[in-house]
Amino acid sequence: MINWFTVAKLGHHFLLEILQEGDTALDGTMGNGHDTLMLAQAVGARGKVYAFDIQTQAINKTREKLAAANVLDERVQLIQDSHHKLSEYIVGPLQGAIYNLGYLPGSDKEIITRTDTTLAALQQTLELLSKGGRLVIVVYPGHPGGQEEKEAIEDMASRLDARQYKVLKVNLLNCPPSAPGVILIEKVVEKV
Ligand code: SAM
């Protein structure tokens, strides 16, 4: 059945299509670590993954998940800080990046991604992407602030120069607008 899990899997699919052993990737919203683990397995022991979250609970959950999968090694850097400061940690280039927006399931629903910091983080991520690199954003417009965040991202993404970036949007057409969706941005050339 098509549901939110289909959308999440689609985000993984877009990155798994291009990520290779030894690549560098970013998880902008670590949460329970599903995306961090997917990235760590995709880039392999020679690769590097930077994962951000502002909550201690997310760092702990992700550390547990990585340890259980035997990938808790130097390839993954868990960073407890806001993703809008990512340029202080990452020099680049990045071959892949994912943001799963909103709140941490099973946690405080007041702690959500915010439009201004999300946009700042996405802008920096786009700068760091290598040619052929992909940024996946999973948007959840169903919670307070989620719709505004989604619209701001779509506005930003739709203004990107099509000679430098290609943008794809995937939505559930016959569901309420609160249903999750995926935005995929691929850097086609470094500079125009
Ligand atoms: N990717 C996660 C996974 O695989 O389980 C799910 C992420 S969850 C939907 C959103 C996460 O974003 C929450 O854990 C929340 O703490 C985090 N978050 C909110 N604001 C943030 C910020 N400014 N910087 C980094 N993470 C943030």
In the chain, what percentage of residues exceed pLDDT 90? Answer: 82
pLDDT digit string (tens) for 44-101? Answer: 999 999 999 999 999 999 999 999 999 978 999 999 999 999 999 999 899 999 999 9
**CATH code assigned at 161:** 3.40.50.150
In the chain, how many domains are there? 1
User: Has residue 121 been placed in a domain?
Assistant: yes
Whose alpha carbon is nearest atom 26 of ligand 1? 53
Mean local confidence (pLDDT), 145-154: 96
What pLDDT, on a 0 to 100 scale, did the predictor assign at position 105? 84
Please tell me the predicted confidence (pLDDT) of residue 72.
77
Residue ranges making up the domain that contains 85: 4-187
The predicted pLDDT at position 175 comes to 87
Give me 166's structure tokens. Answer: 């290609």
Residue 192 belongs to some domain of the structure = no
State the pLDDT at residue 87: 97
Residues 6+ positions from 12 with CB-CB distance below 8 Å? 35, 38
Q: Rounded CA gap, 122 and 88, in Å?
A: 14
Mean of all residue pLDDT scores within the chain: 95
Distance CA 147, CA 151 (A): 6
Is there an atom of ligand 1 within 6 Å of 115 CB?
A: no
Q: Cα–Cα distance between 72 and 77 in angstroms, integer? A: 9
Looking at the domain assignment, is residue 53 inside a domain? yes
Out of 12, 29, 124, mutate this one to test ligand 1's pocket (max ligand atoms within 8 Å of CB): namely: 29
| CA distance linking residue 26 with residue 135, whole number of Å | 9
pLDDT tens digits, 6-47: 988 999 999 999 999 999 999 999 999 999 999 999 999 999
Q: Measured between alpha carbons, how far is 109 from 77 in angstroms, rounded to an integer? A: 25
Give the pLDDT score at 2: 85
Question: Sign (positive/negative) of CA torsion 19, 103, 182, 85?
Answer: negative
Q: How many Cα neighbours within 13 Å face the side chain of 171?
A: 13
Q: Is 118 in the pocket of ligand 1 (CB under 6 A)?
A: no
